[in-house]
Chain A
Amino acid sequence: MSAVERLDPRRDMALIRDRIAHLLDTGGDPAPTMADLASRNPIALADLVVGPKAIRHDRWASAALVQAEALEKALAPSALYRRLIEVVPDSAGQALETAVRRHPGAQWVVALSRRVEGQQAGAVHLAATAAHPSFAQNCWSHASAGHLPGLVDAARTTGRPEPAAALAAHGHLVAAGHAVVATLHTDPDSPVVAVVAAAWGPDPEPVLRCAIPHLRSTEVASALRRQCAGFPSLERFLEIVIEAMVQR
């Protein structure tokens, strides 16, 4: 039951704020109150969630994310999620997941990822959008923003070739090489060399040579060698690497 159903958000905001604070302090469920305000006055709800006097409580923030659709009617999504993680930093991961789910191809999610994930920026966004048409565009955006570990992580999580190609296209050769290996580790049949060549140019050997220091298993090395059959000198070099790995 809503704790504020008899109160008018246009007149009784201070009282509403007090009732919700009490509700949270006593361990009550904020969801019915949140749903009540979302249906009656989304602007007042947005004020209580991300306004200057926002209620700073992780359960309140979690309940707010359930009402994301209503809140986005009151506030631009980019500002909503950015402000929410400022108000309740503990809710940042959940806020990012909600933002990614609701706006998989939005450009502002790239900056939001940086704020939430730091060094690993892009990992959550790309893992969640691997099956979405915006995946390649998202990889390019994160590569352009320099989110290298996040892209390597996404290559490992998804086995898709786009993270490595995006890194190569933006000149991040070492990370691209790492991502090639991470991709093949998850999916040895992923056409990562073909996609890297399509993004980088007809001679992808400088990128593929950066993969070699990251090879840890003969299975992955063999998968890479199979895809490098069109590049004789690299293929020969990989054969030597595989032989050395077997002997070790």
Chain B
Amino acid sequence: MPLSARLHGTPDRLPFVGHFRVDGSAGSVAFSVAGAVSARCDLEVAFDSARCVERALRPIKPVDGDDKVSLLNRIWAAIVSIDGCDLGPNRGEDIVALIAVMDGDGVGIAGTGLGGVWAQHNKGLDPLVAGDHPLLGSPGRPERLPGVLTLDEPRQIVIAVSHDHPVPTLQFAGLERRCGVNP
């Protein structure tokens, strides 16, 4: 079953400055990471930083039978291990990431710099967290994952907005394009 993490773009002409996305799966295990880095910096610097994050995550190959928490930790370790010099003038302190992993027991969601997280289904969006849930917070790369949300029921599409996104609720119509997912 596919799993897709998506970070909503900013509401302007170039919504996906510094956006990255990497997916992987094996059997019943899957992961998906979507985020942005250096999004307020020079466009080319942001592009290179985003590709750097993708290069760090691409070698992660889940194995059927992997546990979702250990997979989450491997993904986070890969992000933390990136040299700050490769992540723009803020050295990765502005990184926003949504990480979703799935194993046979359900879904785990973690991230950094998120302002809201929803699960998408055929008819709309369900908010997954509210208030001061540890999944929501400041951007950056702390040593350990700031918070993990586990869901027993399978979710295929998880959407987040960054902590500084001006619209805290999402409109369903046209959502895929606004997350940089194109037909």
- Asked if B180 contacts A200 (CB within 8 A), the reply is yes
Closest beta carbon of chain B to A190's beta carbon, Å: 10
Chain A residues touching B, majority SS: helix
- Other A-B contacts than A191-B43, A198-B19, 6 sampled, CB-CB below 8 A, are A136-B13, A191-B44, A194-B46, A194-B47, A200-B16, A206-B182
- Asked if A195 contacts B51 (CB within 8 A), the reply is no
User: Taking A191-B44, A194-B44, A230-B54 as contacts, is the C-beta distance between A201 and B13 under 8 angstroms?
Assistant: no
Closest beta carbon of chain A to B169's beta carbon, Å: 21
Q: What are 20 contact pairs spanning A and B, CB under 8 A?
A: A136-B13, A171-B182, A193-B47, A194-B44, A194-B47, A194-B48, A195-B14, A197-B16, A198-B18, A198-B19, A198-B46, A201-B9, A201-B19, A201-B181, A201-B182, A202-B19, A202-B21, A203-B180, A230-B55, A232-B58
- Asked if B51 contacts A198 (CB within 8 A), the reply is no
- B residues apposed to A, CB below 8 Å: 9, 13-21, 34, 43-44, 46-48, 50-51, 54-55, 58, 179-182
Chain B neighbourhood of A197, CB < 8 A: 16, 19, 47, 50
Q: Does A245 contact B (CB under 8 A)?
A: no
- Asked if A200 contacts B20 (CB within 8 A), the reply is no
Among B16, B17, B18, B50, max chain A CB count under 10 A is at B16
User: Taking A229-B51, A230-B51, A230-B54 as contacts, is the C-beta distance between A199 and B16 under 8 angstroms?
Assistant: yes
Chain A neighbourhood of B58, CB < 8 A: 232
Q: Does A184 contact B (CB under 8 A)?
A: no
| Proximity bits, A166-188, B CB within 8 Å = 1, else 0 | 00010100000000000000000
Closest beta carbon of chain B to A31's beta carbon, Å: 42
- Alpha-carbon gap, A104 to B108, bound state (A): 51
Those 10 A-B pairs whose CB atoms lie nearest each other, nearest first: A201-B180, A230-B51, A194-B47, A198-B14, A202-B19, A202-B21, A198-B17, A191-B44, A194-B44, A201-B16
